Amino acid sequence: MTAGCPAGSLALFLCGDIMTGRGIDQILPHPSKPQLFEPYVRSARDYVRLAERTCGALKPPVDFSYIWGDALAELERMAPDARIVNLETSVTASDEAWPDKGIHYRMHPANVACLSAARIDCCVLANNHVMDWGRRGLAETLDTLHRAGLLTAGAGRTLARAAAPATVSVSGKGRVLVFACCTTGSGVPREWAASRTGSGVHLLTDLSPRSAETIARQIRARKRSGDVVVLSVHWGGNWRFDISREERTFAHQLIDAAGVDLVHGHSSHHVRGMELYKGKLILYGCGDLLTDYEGIAGHEAYRP
């Protein structure tokens, strides 16, 4: 039983961005090539140096569990039934950076054990960094995660696979279905959209009632009695507290029309508001859990 939860209830761990590429990847046992294509930073090692300047010296390579800090002990204490994260990086050794994108995240496939260290069940991939290293990078990401026993949602080799839910089976408690999608408003290039025969992410061009009904049909086709449905959505900009009318209407429609039990929002690099709508929780922005942002100045108004 999870601490603080009634007997027989289902406890979920959901967080926002897990950005294990770039600087974090560089301190793990198998760092990728450090080359970047950012306007001011050309090496991922520079992010390590910035972090050391702020937080003290690091001694790479670190253990795979190191990057989680105190979170691992807290996860063990809470003992959630399912652990669901937004994995905002490509897991690949590909050198084919997506052109004209500016920011590229990748973690070497040999470092995937850092996710296993936290016993993650499902990685949501519908976001604006999973294809930073192209479609070959996406294919390697999917293969690497699946070989490690991790479920994925929100990206796939076809649109049907990208839109399909990850199914987390919880012994004695049923199934958690994780559907995932992303929007162009969160910085996802339109070219990343999966198609009937091509790989990519489950991309929405807007949050209109029509888009919501498309998602609702997909959920109704898969949901069984007793299932818990999580809709994970990458939406909005990186730095904003406001919640738009479109976001609220979209979330409400999915709860009303498809029986979504929890909306798991992410994209903002800080926590946004939450809402309890008809007894269902809407997390509009879960912020970041793991990043390499230590030492990067700016946006202090959004930081705790």
17 beta partners = 86, 288
Model-wide pTM > 0.85: yes
| Residue 70: other Cβ atoms inside 10 A | 7
pLDDT, one tens digit for every residue, the chain (304 residues): 233 455 568 999 999 999 999 999 999 999 999 999 998 899 999 999 999 999 999 999 999 999 999 999 999 999 999 999 999 999 999 999 999 998 999 999 999 999 999 999 999 999 999 999 999 999 999 999 999 999 999 999 999 999 999 999 999 999 999 999 999 999 999 999 999 999 999 999 999 999 999 999 999 999 999 999 999 999 998 888 899 999 999 999 999 999 999 999 999 999 999 999 999 999 999 999 999 988 888 888 877 7
In the DSSP assignment, the letter for residue 300 is G
pLDDT value for 296: 83
Cα→Cα distances 257→182, 220, 230, 249, 252, Å? 19, 9, 14, 12, 8
Domain residue spans of the chain: 12-289
For 12-289, CATH number? 3.60.21
